[in-house]
Amino acid sequence: MMQKLKTILSNPPLKIEGSIIEKHLEKSTKVYVLGVTVGEDVEIRSEQLFKQGNYTVGLLLDAAATTAVEQGSGSSKRSNQYNR
């Protein structure tokens, strides 16, 4: 099944896919896109741990990095603020 892509009219245009994000943005007239990362080193280390069979530590490292990004960007707070 082919999924229809939606586009955020930016420069350059940003194509998004997925029914959850589509529903979340369906009534939006403006969208602000923010990219946040803790760096490539965490991803590389997590992949190494998975390849070594150390799945638990790799998963915990990935989850900690995701949490750090969300906390650093305040994404969960802003998301809740605008969904009222």
- Which residues on neighbouring strands pair with residue 16, listed in sequence order? 6
In the predicted structure, residue 2 carries a pLDDT above the cut 50: no
Helix 75-82 vs helix 55-73: crossing angle, to nearest 10: 60
pLDDT of residue 62: 94
Position with higher pLDDT, 2 vs 28: 28
Residue 11: phi and psi, rounded to 5, are: -120, 100
Write the CA distances from 37 to 40, 54, 65, 70, integer angstroms: 8, 23, 8, 9
pTM score over 0.85: no
